Chain A
Amino acid sequence: MEDIVRRALAAAGAGYVEIRLEERTATSVNYVGRELENIGTTTGVGGCVRALVNGGWGFVSFNDASQIERCVKMACDQARMVGRNGSRLAPVAPAVDSWVNTVDVDPRAVPLEQKERLAAAYNRIILSAKGIQTSNVRYSDYHNIETFANTEGAMVRQETVFCGMLLAAIARDEMNIQRAFESIGDLRGYQIVAGQEAACEGVAKRAVDLLTARQADGGKYTVIVDPKLCGVFVHEAFGHLSESDFLYENPDMLGLMTVGKRFGTEQLAIVDDPTLPGEAGSYKYDSEGTRGVRTDLIRGGLLTGHLHSRETAAQMGTKPTGNARAISFNHPPIVRMSNTYLEPRDASFEQMVSEVDNGIYAVGMLGGMTEMEMFTFSAGEAWAIRGGKIREKVRDVVLTGNVKETLLNIDAIGNDLRFAGGLGGCGKAGQSPLRVSTGGPHIRIRNVVIGGRA
């Protein structure tokens, strides 16, 4: 593999050229209701060439590696066509390295039959709960070998083993259809999907309970969010604005995201860190061969950094952070998060709740998205808080707002940091899902708009 890459790079003319080759074997087992909808192993091979010539980018992807030299030429021609665009790369020392993420139990050593039995057992637990109409239980693992090389002399081989599981339940009472899910997944190995019986019972109960929950009234509330939802919020609402590909040619946006600007109280700190062992968003090198590093995005309530590729770092006169990531060989790397979290402080959950007169406790999530400084994200389940106590369950809690105001409105940060990965991932610019994790403790936010019927 490495010889093919070296030969192809030698064929490149002027400018910068990089090649990524990928081999992937993926196994999945998917029950939907009583039926096993999909089971088995798929394989894929492919690669891409990215060229930077005279400040313009060209990109070519392929499945047929015998075409690689033609693709190098094509990428360079396309880059020339773009031309004189001023794109540059910040220097990084060319890495020659290989990395394998260590797992406790390698899913490749587990027979398909055992994976099927595990999924079937979880599926039975969910389906046997009263009020459950159907389920979605999906086991998924993959083994990925990525080889990266460029004309600066880098040659990096990374091997990743991911394993995870989706547990979803759908409850139904006539036209009232409610769903709940739990998704786990990271780089630790097969053992993480074992022993999830209680989680299966939990999602089934959640879906059934939502049938009788009352709909939240729209309006402005003090909201306490749990660690999972806190992580999603930090990723969706703030994290994406830290991605410099979106900032660097955009003085107005950069104005909103200037280093030194206040985003929260002294207590607020937000971090992106791909070096955490075993988390879903961890890696040693990004898809440009740059070593991933911990980046403080907010510290002491002040904006302290952005996430960078080599190109955005050059444009903004700073160092690459190793956040240029591609979901596969079929896409060029773009600036992405890795493991993004809000640092814990010392508030206890009980204390936070006791100080709320009229609020919402929002737990987990069904989804989230952001457009510029506006975000919406929906809680997996929620309860009303009145008089300092958690009361009845409510549903269809969709939180929305402006990220900066919302971060400034965080008035308590808990002591119970947790990370969440999962089978899903992050989507950006047509590249989805990218494995990431999000993390945080319980936090309390004042004045959050909850959508609902007025």
Chain B
Amino acid sequence: MIEKILELARRAGASAEAFYSEGESRRADFDNNRLKYITTKSIRGVGLRVIRDGRIGFSSTTDLSRPERLVEHALESARYGQEAKFEFPAGVAPAAVPIFDRRVPDYPIEDGVRQASEAIEKVRAAAPRGQCSAEVSKHTGRQRLLNSAGLDVSFEFSRFTTGLGLLLVRDGSLLWTGDDNSSCAWFDRWDAYVGKVLSDVRCSEREIVPEPGVYPVVFTPDALDDALLETFENGVNGKLVQKRISPLSGKIGQRITDARFTLADDPTLDFAQGSAAVDCEGVAARRNVLIEAGVLKAFIYDLQTAGVLGEKSTGNGMRGFASQPAPSTTNLVIDAGDTPVERMIAGMERGLLVDQLIGAGQSNVLAGEFSVNVGLGFLVERGEIVARVKDCMLAGNVFEVFNNIAALGSLAELKGDLKAPHVQFAGLSLASG
């Protein structure tokens, strides 16, 4: 079928690339303390990119019964498409990265249901009025990339995801907390989730609206992910560099953050959510250091963006079958520092620990501006967590605050596609009402 699509495009005088993706996922969802749904999704589709008369065309379909129509759509697209600044690669030496764990397809969903139920019971034993939600999801997929230059690579991957959430209403006030993780390998983190949820419940027994002002603030890795890292992801994205809207363009080799800050994109981490041996257009995946000791080192590219800018693809051409490749990060890694998070908290006279930030991405992310509601955060006084903070917002500029790092956590754990420590910033503006 895919060979036929490629052949049809070739006969029409185009060089071509077909990206086929299929996958089956099965998940169990708990809602309001009970198993609610078991879902199976069995999805497949193909994207066809062609280059004809020097121009790029693209189309996609999930209807595999009509390859002629797909080719026709892609060729029509190439009548208008932009000038190709690359050629389809003929071969690739894939990175050695494990992304398939047999335990994922072999794990019975019934066992997942049982483990999730037990976790919910533990939370409910300590917080009987709480409403728990949970998710167990297992996915296996196969991708095949085939092009008219002779490339033909296939990959099988697995993905395992679990999550536990709690909604607790107390005196008209809502606490919404939880934890989750995702990996290509099977894992069991239920006890850790229960521990995190119950700790948040305990720390939230008292609530206060903090005074507006400037506070030292410790961000958990989740909070960094919620509110701050998107600015770096955008800033190093070759596409935004090409469009001249990355605030980092022209700054390679310059110091842009505190010298303790090192950020890399790394698709070669074993079993990490964003890992891959080859990107989605046939370039070998590799680790790219983006910011090293505060100095901007590199941008990420796909083939076309690199071609336009006279650079080389960094193996970051990412896509689903229904879209053309675009530069995208895989797994982000922030190097750990030397301060245990306990010591950060113990050392604060008056400050905040924030874990969930709401409303990120609404202010001017490109420029690094942020203004976020503290969904879950705590006031620290004289080294102790004393209350949950409510009705307040943190604001600032990402580049300014990353030049204002007080401490980096000593532990960076992989969670999903992020491996980051806690980060303490010296002073952030807090508005409240």
Residue in B59, B64, B80, B366 whose beta carbon sits within 8 Å of that of A177 in the complex: B366
B253 within 8 A of A: no
In the complex the two chains form, what is the Cα distance from A372 to B174 in whole Å?
A: 7
Chain A 141-174 near chain B by CB (<8 Å), digits 1 or 0? 0000000000000000000000000000010100
Whether B362 pairs with A112 at a CB distance below 8 angstroms is: no
Residue in A35, A40, A74, A170 whose beta carbon sits within 8 Å of that of B76 in the complex: A40
A326 within 8 A of B: no
Chain B 298-328 near chain A by CB (<8 Å), digits 1 or 0? 0000000000000000000000001110000
Given contacts A332-B39, A373-B174, contact A177 B362 (CB under 8 A): no
Residue in B61, B371, B391 whose beta carbon sits within 8 Å of that of A44 in the complex: B61
A58 within 8 A of B: yes
Shortest CB distance A69–B (Å): 14
Residue in B36, B62, B367 whose beta carbon sits within 8 Å of that of A178 in the complex: B367
Whether B129 pairs with A177 at a CB distance below 8 angstroms is: no
B393 within 8 A of A: yes
In the complex the two chains form, what is the Cα distance from A416 to B8 in whole Å?
A: 56
Identify the closest chain A residue to B69 (Cβ). Answer: A43
Identify the closest chain B residue to A249 (Cβ). Answer: B32
Identify the closest chain A residue to B431 (Cβ). Answer: A218
B35 within 8 A of A: yes
Given contacts A59-B37, A218-B212, A330-B41, contact A36 B245 (CB under 8 A): no
Whether A178 pairs with B364 at a CB distance below 8 angstroms is: yes
Identify the closest chain A residue to B234 (Cβ). Answer: A177
Please indicate the chain A residues that have their CB under 8 angstroms from the CB of B433 in the complex: 219-220, 401, 447-449
In the complex the two chains form, what is the Cα distance from A112 to B75 in whole Å?
A: 13
Whether A451 pairs with B395 at a CB distance below 8 angstroms is: yes
In the complex the two chains form, what is the Cα distance from A63 to B44 in whole Å?
A: 6
Identify the closest chain A residue to B37 (Cβ). Answer: A57
Question: For chain B residues 24-71, which have a beta carbon within 8 Å of chain A?
Answer: 31-32, 34-45, 57-64, 66, 69-70
Given contacts A40-B73, A179-B366, contact A46 B62 (CB under 8 A): yes
A104 within 8 A of B: no
Whether A57 pairs with B391 at a CB distance below 8 angstroms is: no
Residue in A45, A74, A79, A450 whose beta carbon sits within 8 Å of that of B62 in the complex: A45
Identify the closest chain B residue to A367 (Cβ). Answer: B362
Residue in B66, B77, B431 whose beta carbon sits within 8 Å of that of A452 in the complex: B431
Please indicate the chain A residues that have their CB under 8 angstroms from the CB of B265 in the complex: none
Chain B 230-244 near chain A by CB (<8 Å), digits 1 or 0? 000000000100111
Whether B62 pairs with A112 at a CB distance below 8 angstroms is: no
Whether A36 pairs with B81 at a CB distance below 8 angstroms is: yes
Which of B74, B214, B371 has the most chain A CB atoms closer than 10 A to its own CB? B371
Interface of A is mostly: strand
A130 within 8 A of B: no
Whether B359 pairs with A400 at a CB distance below 8 angstroms is: yes
Identify the closest chain A residue to B393 (Cβ). Answer: A451
B213 within 8 A of A: yes
Residue in B40, B82, B324, B429 whose beta carbon sits within 8 Å of that of A60 in the complex: B40
A3 within 8 A of B: no
A366 within 8 A of B: yes
Given contacts A41-B73, A366-B363, contact A218 B375 (CB under 8 A): no
Whether B76 pairs with A112 at a CB distance below 8 angstroms is: yes
Identify the closest chain A residue to B73 (Cβ). Answer: A41
Given contacts A85-B34, A178-B367, A374-B373, contact A41 B59 (CB under 8 A): yes
Whether A172 pairs with B38 at a CB distance below 8 angstroms is: no
Identify the closest chain A residue to B32 (Cβ). Answer: A249
Question: For chain A residues 49-69, which have a beta carbon within 8 Å of chain B?
Answer: 56-64, 67
Shortest CB distance A363–B (Å): 15
How many contacts between A and B, using CB within 8 angstroms? 246
Residue in B63, B131, B213 whose beta carbon sits within 8 Å of that of A43 in the complex: B63
In the complex the two chains form, what is the Cα distance from A453 to B62 in whole Å?
A: 49
A454 within 8 A of B: yes
A129 within 8 A of B: no
Range, interface on chain A: 35 or more
B416 within 8 A of A: no
Please indicate the chain A residues that have their CB under 8 angstroms from the CB of B42 in the complex: 60-64, 67, 71
Residue in A116, A378, A448 whose beta carbon sits within 8 Å of that of B80 in the complex: A116
Whether A63 pairs with B38 at a CB distance below 8 angstroms is: no
Whether B80 pairs with A39 at a CB distance below 8 angstroms is: yes
In the complex the two chains form, what is the Cα distance from A395 to B371 in whole Å?
A: 12
Please indicate the chain A residues that have their CB under 8 angstroms from the CB of B399 in the complex: 175
Which of A250-258, A264-272, A343-351 lies at the binding interface?
A: A250-258
In the complex the two chains form, what is the Cα distance from A109 to B60 in whole Å?
A: 21
Whether B172 pairs with A400 at a CB distance below 8 angstroms is: no
Chain B 370-388 near chain A by CB (<8 Å), digits 1 or 0? 0111010000000000000
A78 within 8 A of B: yes
Residue in A42, A78, A178, A372 whose beta carbon sits within 8 Å of that of B39 in the complex: A78
Residue in B39, B44, B324, B393 whose beta carbon sits within 8 Å of that of A64 in the complex: B44
Identify the closest chain A residue to B433 (Cβ). Answer: A449
In the complex the two chains form, what is the Cα distance from A219 to B371 in whole Å?
A: 13
A369 within 8 A of B: yes
Whether A369 pairs with B359 at a CB distance below 8 angstroms is: yes
Whether A42 pairs with B80 at a CB distance below 8 angstroms is: no
Please indicate the chain A residues that have their CB under 8 angstroms from the CB of B106 in the complex: none
Whether B396 pairs with A61 at a CB distance below 8 angstroms is: no
In the complex the two chains form, what is the Cα distance from A79 to B40 in whole Å?
A: 11
Please indicate the chain A residues that have their CB under 8 angstroms from the CB of B359 in the complex: 367, 369, 376-378, 398, 400
Chain B 252-295 near chain A by CB (<8 Å), digits 1 or 0? 00000000000000000000000000000000000000000000
Residue in A56, A61, A218 whose beta carbon sits within 8 Å of that of B429 in the complex: A218
Whether B372 pairs with A376 at a CB distance below 8 angstroms is: yes
Which of B39, B172, B213, B396 has the most chain A CB atoms closer than 10 A to its own CB? B39
Please indicate the chain B residues that have their CB under 8 angstroms from the CB of A378 in the complex: 359, 362-363, 371
A81 within 8 A of B: yes
Please indicate the chain A residues that have their CB under 8 angstroms from the CB of B364 in the complex: 177-179, 395-396
In the complex the two chains form, what is the Cα distance from A346 to B57 in whole Å?
A: 53
Whether A43 pairs with B73 at a CB distance below 8 angstroms is: yes
Residues of chain B touching chain A, judged by Cβ–Cβ distance below 8 Å, are 31-32, 34-45, 57-64, 66, 69-70, 73-74, 76-77, 80-82, 109-110, 113, 129, 131, 167, 169, 172, 174, 176, 212-214, 239, 242-245, 247, 322-324, 358-359, 361-364, 366-369, 371-373, 375, 391, 393-396, 399, 429-433
> 10 nearest interchain CB pairs?
A40-B77, A218-B431, A252-B169, A376-B359, A449-B433, A451-B393, A249-B32, A367-B362, A78-B38, A451-B371
Name 24 interchain pairs, CB-CB below 8 A, sorted by A.
Answer: A39-B77, A44-B61, A62-B43, A64-B42, A78-B40, A79-B38, A112-B80, A175-B399, A250-B167, A253-B167, A253-B169, A366-B362, A367-B362, A368-B362, A369-B362, A371-B373, A376-B373, A378-B363, A398-B362, A398-B393, A402-B391, A449-B431, A449-B432, A454-B212
* Given A40-B77, A177-B367, A453-B395; 7 other pairs, CB 8 A cutoff: A40-B73, A41-B77, A63-B64, A170-B245, A371-B358, A398-B395, A453-B429
Residues of chain A touching chain B, judged by Cβ–Cβ distance below 8 Å, are 29, 32-33, 35-46, 56-64, 67, 71, 74-75, 78-79, 81-82, 85, 87, 112-113, 116, 133-134, 170, 172, 175-179, 218-220, 249-250, 252-253, 255-256, 330, 332, 366-369, 371-374, 376-378, 395-396, 398, 400-402, 447-454
